[in-house]
Homo-oligomer: A and B are copies of this chain.
């Protein structure tokens, strides 16, 4: 039904996958091929480290600006593959479109605080949450793939003029 996938089998961190050799090996292992496009996309995530939630549209645009002509459909297909390989994680941050980020291990999960007014996104981690996640899934016999906690609110800036 979708593309969530387990951790890297060998525990390799997603960040390392920008290394072409490692990336190639990981792709080939599953019958996929290393292509310029896939490499460029993954590299983009590293470059945009500061603002690392990217939508397919943004990726397409950024690469275009960098002179890389890559079609939208290829972006989508590449994202699916990278998610399936466990290199990227899909986020449900905003309305109507999906965002992606380099996937971090389950025990390093971080969460998002979204301002519904201006769209600002802040991240936070919390050990208690990580533990709850592990415990709940275990209690119910689920095999944990990943979890995402998204809190919606109004940021300090938007509170004054808020409420409609």
Using a CB–CB cutoff of 8 Å, the interface residues on chain A facing chain B are 1-2, 4, 6, 92, 94-95, 111, 113, 115-119, 122, 124, 126, 128-129, 131-133, 136-137, 140-156, 159, 162-163
A118 nearest CB neighbor, chain B only: B1
Which residues does chain B contribute within 8 Å of A148, judged by CB atoms? Answer: 149-150
Report which of B122, B142, B149 forms a contact with A149, defined as CB distance below 8 A: B149
Report which of B6, B144, B150, B162 forms a contact with A147, defined as CB distance below 8 A: B150
Alpha-carbon gap, A152 to B144, bound state (A):
6
Distance to closest chain B CB from A83 (angstroms) = 11
Please tell me how many copies of the chain the complex holds. Answer: 2
Distance to closest chain B CB from A63 (angstroms) = 24
**CB–CB B129/A4 < 8 A:** no
Which residues does chain B contribute within 8 Å of A131, judged by CB atoms? Answer: 128
| Most interface-central of A94, A111, A132, A144 (chain B CB within 10 A) | A132
Report which of B142, B144, B152 forms a contact with A4, defined as CB distance below 8 A: B152
**CB–CB A152/B141 < 8 A:** no
A-B contact pairs, 22 of them (CB 8 A): A1-B95, A1-B119, A4-B152, A6-B163, A92-B92, A92-B150, A113-B136, A113-B140, A113-B142, A116-B145, A124-B136, A126-B132, A128-B131, A129-B129, A129-B132, A141-B155, A141-B159, A142-B156, A144-B151, A145-B152, A147-B149, A148-B149
A127 nearest CB neighbor, chain B only: B132
Which residues does chain B contribute within 8 Å of A6, judged by CB atoms? Answer: 163
